[in-house]
Amino acid sequence: MDAQLRVAQLLYVDLEDPDGALRHLREFGNANPQYVTDMLLGQGEILVRLGRESEAVQLLAEELQQSPDEERLHDANVQLHLILAQDAVEEERYGEADRVLNRALNSYPGNPSVRYARALLFQERGRLRRSATALEQLVEDYPEDAGFLNALGYLLTDELGRHDEALPLLRRALAAEPDNPAIIDSMGWVLFHLGELESALDYLERAFALFPDPEVAAHIVDTHWALGNREQAMQLLNESLEDHADSEHLLEVQQRLAQ
């Protein structure tokens, strides 16, 4: 199955033959019914990238009409709506993203993936308290989900200054997924805000070793600076900017430290 999706990716991206990619996925799905859902979703993704969103929606709607009890088709339909919403967010069409997610929630009330996407959309639109409320509801419904715990904990400490509330959430997330670099970074960041700088640096450097992301680098720069390690802070900042010159996190730190 993955090989077929890679072939379609090759046709679409490298050979610039989207119709060939769509045809390949359609024919493979028809010949292998056990993979038809994955092939439909692959076609949907390509159609969205081509700006043919209505065709993508119609494609799955027709399949659902024929097989309304097929759970995998419903899963694919949810994923397609998430792709549509993300595509709208990337183009800053936030109203359209909101409409897509509301449509998905109407069809699949309470779906956690759609609820999570909407919580993130609230953040994109600067509605931080609404995002926190939505994430709190998800954590209440799914108390063991490390992703929801991390998202809420990070939002509370990074944007809302509610560090004491964030810490136990992030501890729970880290207990569930101790090697997840995003959660390790979040733990370091809340400890930074709580003034536990040495412990914060340990977590942040662990996260960076696992996943050298510019946002994590920015957190390490801030922590080194707060510890008085100015030379190390500037060295990491400059090295990171060489690789990620457009990183808003690094540029914000650079501007702040230059003042």
Is residue 201 included in any domain, yes or no? no
Is residue 233 included in any domain, yes or no? no
Question: What pLDDT is recorded for position 46?
Answer: 80
Question: What pLDDT is recorded for position 2?
Answer: 52
The whole-angstrom separation of Cα 189 and Cα 167 is 10
- What is the number of structural domains in the chain? 1
Is residue 116 included in any domain, yes or no? yes
Tell me the per-residue pLDDT of 195-236, one tens digit each, with 9 for 90 and over.
999 999 999 999 999 999 999 999 999 999 999 999 999 999
- Mean of pLDDT values over 72-82: 85
- Quick one: tokens of 22? 């769509």
CATH of the domain at 34: 1.25.40.10
The whole-angstrom separation of Cα 118 and Cα 241 is 31
- Quick one: tokens of 19? 């119709």
- The length of the chain in residues reads 259
User: Higher model confidence: residue 6 or residue 135?
Assistant: 135
Is residue 148 included in any domain, yes or no? no
Tell me the per-residue pLDDT of 45-68, one tens digit each, with 9 for 90 and over.
787 777 787 777 777 777 777 777
Query: Mean pLDDT score of the chain, rounded to an integer?
Result: 89
Does position 8 have pLDDT exceeding 60, yes or no?
no
**Residue 152 and residue 183 in contact, taking contact as beta carbons nearer than 8 Å:** no
Is residue 57 included in any domain, yes or no? yes
Is residue 224 included in any domain, yes or no? no
Does position 3 have pLDDT exceeding 80, yes or no?
no
Is residue 131 included in any domain, yes or no? no
Q: Where are the alpha helices (DSSP H) in the chain?
A: 2-9, 18-31, 36-49, 53-66, 71-90, 94-107, 112-124, 128-141, 146-158, 163-176, 181-193, 197-210, 214-227, 230-243, 248-258
The whole-angstrom separation of Cα 143 and Cα 39 is 33
Burial of 252 (0-12, 13-18, 19+ CB in 10 A): exposed
Question: What pLDDT is recorded for position 30?
Answer: 67
82: left (phi over 0), alpha (psi -120 to 50) or beta: alpha
User: Higher model confidence: residue 30 or residue 258?
Assistant: 258
- Mean of pLDDT values over 83-108: 94
- Structural domain span for residue 86: 1-126
Chain centroid offset of residue 64 CA? 27
Q: Which of 56-60, 109-113, 154-158 has the lowest mean pLDDT?
A: 56-60
Is residue 95 included in any domain, yes or no? yes
**Residue 90 and residue 83 in contact, taking contact as beta carbons nearer than 8 Å:** no
Q: Which of 107-111, 117-121, 179-183 has the lowest mean pLDDT?
A: 107-111
Does position 79 have pLDDT exceeding 90, yes or no?
no
- Mean of pLDDT values over 33-50: 77
Does position 4 have pLDDT exceeding 50, yes or no?
no
